[in-house]
Amino acid sequence: MSQFNPDKIQIGISACLLGDKVRFDGGHKASSYCRKEIAEHFDYVPVCPEMAIGMGAPRKSIRLEKDGDIIFVKSADGSVDVTDKLNDFSDKKVAQLDFLGGYILCAKSPTCGMERVTEYKYGTNNGWKSGIGVYARKLMERYPQLPVEEEGRLHDLPIRENFFTRVYAYHDWHMLKASGFTKSNILDFHARYKYMLMAHNPKLYRDLGPLLADMSGDLEKIADTYFTGFMQILKIKATRKNHTSALQHIQGYFKKHLSSAQKAELAESILKYNQGLQPILVPMTLINHYLREFPTPYIENQVYLNPHPQELKLRYAY
């Protein structure tokens, strides 16, 4: 079994997205984005539940059928029923994946679909898009904070940026956990993510702080409760308004160092971003430039300024 890798984030992925010919028709759903644009940044852990239980490819297609609260996974004609096999495999496989930093799933799949998978009323062809794939459901239930997304949705730039922001933050936390929690390093983690959290939801950020005011109890329990709230905040998409507020807070740290012209330049770049006239990359680049000229340790340590590798080109999402 693979273990947590502190150097390179491991991402679970539906095998068909990497070009493996594992689909029911013997084909694949190769994702150019996953295979070419981001592959060098991650170690992939491919999984195909259908192949893992011995269905082979090509094979008879399967679907979700709902009878009350029970979900069956069967062929449309009822001749194939892999409900028990898929549930057993999913339980065992998911239990082995605690080292992952994120997961990219194939949409609409009765095993891997994250949402809107067609569910049929048992024994009929009456369906509605309200289901979750058997394997995907167990994955998300076991690791509720794990960043999970469907490949197709990653073509939406804000969704893509949010997903990878969570992936890197999730990995950062688990590196901290692997080193051993202390009051000091948990507080330091929270401080480093201040403006990131503010950009996603300033109210929930303020609500999270008091949890760390008194850490005299069970530190592991406090850390787990904190991280649940932390990831819930990051799952909320950052808005232009909140980004602007975070940038203006950071701008305040430079008021004693910048010339009048530099202050005006930074203020104008933030204003133009707020008005939608230029991407957030512009004021971010200026801030990082001024940090090199006027080092400010507290701001330099803010993950918000560099939450993921520039090569991923995620700052263009806003």
State the amino acid at position 211 in one-letter form: L
State the first-to-last Cα distance of the chain, in angstroms, to the nearest integer: 39
**Residues whose CB falls within 8 Å of the CB of residue 81, separated by 6 or more in sequence, listed in order:** 72, 73, 74, 75
pLDDT single digits (tens) 272-315: 999 999 999 999 999 999 999 999 999 999 999 999 998 998 87
pLDDT cut 70: percent of the chain above it: 97
CB neighbourhood size of 212 (10 A): 17
Residue 318 has pLDDT above 70, yes or no: no
Please tell me whether the peptide bond between 202 and the residue prior to it is cis, using omega within 30 degrees of 0.
Answer: no
CB neighbourhood size of 131 (10 A): 23
Residue 17 has pLDDT above 60, yes or no: yes
What per-residue confidence (pLDDT) applies to 214?
87
Contact 19, 29 (CB under 8 A): no
State the amino acid at position 30 in one-letter form: A
User: What is the Cα–Cα distance from 234 to 102, expressed in whole angstroms?
Assistant: 14
Contact 111, 49 (CB under 8 A): yes
What per-residue confidence (pLDDT) applies to 83?
97
Angle (CA) 9-11-12 rounded to 5° is 155
For the entire predicted model, the pTM comes to 0.94
User: What is the Cα–Cα distance from 289 to 262, expressed in whole angstroms?
Assistant: 11
From the list 239, 316, 251, the residue with the least C-alpha distance to 288 is 251
pLDDT single digits (tens) 234-278: 999 999 999 999 999 999 999 899 999 999 999 999 999 999 999
What per-residue confidence (pLDDT) applies to 1?
42
User: What is the Cα–Cα distance from 318 to 313, expressed in whole angstroms?
Assistant: 11
User: What is the Cα–Cα distance from 48 to 64, expressed in whole angstroms?
Assistant: 17
pLDDT single digits (tens) 33-56: 999 999 999 999 999 999 999 998
Q: DSSP code of 34?
A: I
User: What is the Cα–Cα distance from 72 to 134, expressed in whole angstroms?
Assistant: 9
User: What are residue 109's phi and psi, to 5 degrees?
Assistant: -70, 140
Residue 219 is encoded by which pair of tokens? 């530190």
